[in-house]
């Protein structure tokens, strides 16, 4: 996977959007780190699939219940997740150390059921931060109305945050400003890192459906453009906030910019390139968290020369603006995506606990 090192040379870190106990125990993650993986993200759906699709967790589940017969499915899951996150963080510690805290992070999400509970999110984040006990942990917090003040408070407290479920430029603006406020309040910002997870492929899925409903030749010609255009505009705003004078005083204090992280980068439409959400989004000081299939696709036939993140920003702006000509309210699409995303994560969390509970009963 030499191409992953090429991406890093171009300024982009590749994080693995996947976790499963066997890649930790076998040393496979360590091999991937050597090949250029510089971080890892998890979510309830990933953990659910990992636990349901293998017997890698059966022994640990049986042991947990044997040690504590009254343990709930949530207790058992958290024990499993914390152990996996600790092992992944240890496997990535060399990246964290060699980059002076710039990379090497592993993300763990607060319960999605806390998405609209500011204080609950803050308390849960502190608890998980203490339980995992690794400096290269990032706590995932959704960019809901209630999540924004939680992000500020956690950054101010020195806890690394992966702000997630962002679909719109408004989402990005609110998260970035919360980070800036938190950094200004932090006693020592030099040890704090954060990413703003901006979701990509789902934007095309919803926008394409609206364009196909119109059905005109002009509308159909716009399919597959909105997601990358939206991401380019978010990155342009990132540069304005973090690369200008406004943040310079915090850089002098040792603060890092909050990097934009491209999430949901697996191509969902088989008619599109399987690296559609990689090549156009390569740019300085960014992260792309990719599922294994996308990493394999890029390693096979991706080309860093196709990097276009800072190019044609005016065209990107036009690609979003033209949607209104087809009666498409792009702001409404992104609002609906966030609402649906919060619900999907909560549903995945419930499915995860049901899977753990089923294994507890069977084992």
- Over residues 65-85, the mean pLDDT reads 94
Single out the residue of 200, 140, 190 nearest to residue 164, CA to CA. 140
Single out the residue of 87, 106, 81 nearest to residue 24, CA to CA. 87
Provide the CATH number for the domain around residue 46: 3.20.20.70
Active-site entry in 3, 48, 140, 359: 140
Please report the DSSP string for 96-163 in residue order: HHHTTTSS-EEEEEPPGGGTT-HHHHHHHHHHHHHHH--TTEEEEEE-STTHHHHHHHHHHTT--EEE
Note the pLDDT of residue 54: 85
Full residue range of the structural domain in which residue 177 is found: 2-362
For 99-114, write each residue's pLDDT tens digit: 999 999 999 999 999 9
Rounded CA-CA distance 41/18 in Å is 6
Note the pLDDT of residue 129: 98
Single out the residue of 166, 165, 177 nearest to residue 112, CA to CA. 165
Q: Is 140 a catalytic residue?
A: yes
Coil, helix or strand at residue 306 = helix
CA-angle at 10, arms to 5 and 14, nearest 5°: 50
For 256-314, write each residue's pLDDT tens digit: 999 999 999 999 999 999 999 999 999 999 999 999 999 999 999 999 988 889 999 99
pTM, 2 dp: 0.96
For 309-334, write each residue's pLDDT tens digit: 999 999 999 999 999 999 999 999 99
Task: Classify residue 161 as left (phi > 0), alpha (psi -120 to 50) or beta.
Answer: beta
Number of domains in the chain: 1
Single out the residue of 8, 224, 165 nearest to residue 95, CA to CA. 8
């Amino acid at each position: 996977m030499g191409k992953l090192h090429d991406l890093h040379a171009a300024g982009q870190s590749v994080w693995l959007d996947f976790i499963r106990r066997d890649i930790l125990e076998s040393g496979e993650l360590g091999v991937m780190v050597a090949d250029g993986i510089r971080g890892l993200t998890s979510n309830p759906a990933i953990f659910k699939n990992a636990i349901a699709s293998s017997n890698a967790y059966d022994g640990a589940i049986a042991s947990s219940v044997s040690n504590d017969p009254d343990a709930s499915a949530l207790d058992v899951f958290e024990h499993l997740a914390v152990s996996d996150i600790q092992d992944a963080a240890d496997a990535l510690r060399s990246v964290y150390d060699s980059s002076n805290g710039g990379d090497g992070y592993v993300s763990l999400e607060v319960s999605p059921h806390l998405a609209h509970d500011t204080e609950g999110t803050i308390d849960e984040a502190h608890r998980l931060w203490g339980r995992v006990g690794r400096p290269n942990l990032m706590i995932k917090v959704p960019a809901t109305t209630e999540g924004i003040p939680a992000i500020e408070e956690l950054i101010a407290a020195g806890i690394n945050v992966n702000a997630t479920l962002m679909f719109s430029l408004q989402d990005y603006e609110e998260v970035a400003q919360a980070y800036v406020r938190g950094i200004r309040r932090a006693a020592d910002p030099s040890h704090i890192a954060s990413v703003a997870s901006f979701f990509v492929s789902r934007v095309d899925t919803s926008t394409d459906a609206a364009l196909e409903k119109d059905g005109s030749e002009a509308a159909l010609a716009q399919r597959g453009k909105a997601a990358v255009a939206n991401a380019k505009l978010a990155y342009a705003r990132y540069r304005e906030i973090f690369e200008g004078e406004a943040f310079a005083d915090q850089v002098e204090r040792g603060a890092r910019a909050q990097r934009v992280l491209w999430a949901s980068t697996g191509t969902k439409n088989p008619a599109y390139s399987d690296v559609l959400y990689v090549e156009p989004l390569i740019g300085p000081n960014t992260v792309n968290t990719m599922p294994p299939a996308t990493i394999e696709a890029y390693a096979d036939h991706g080309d860093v020369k196709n990097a276009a993140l800072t190019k044609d920003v005016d065209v990107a702006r036009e690609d979003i603006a033209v949607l209104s000509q087809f009666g498409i309210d792009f702001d409404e699409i992104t609002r609906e995506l966030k609402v649906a995303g919060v619900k999907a994560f909560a549903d995945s969390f419930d499915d995860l606990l049901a899977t753990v509970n089923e294994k507890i009963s069977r084992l």
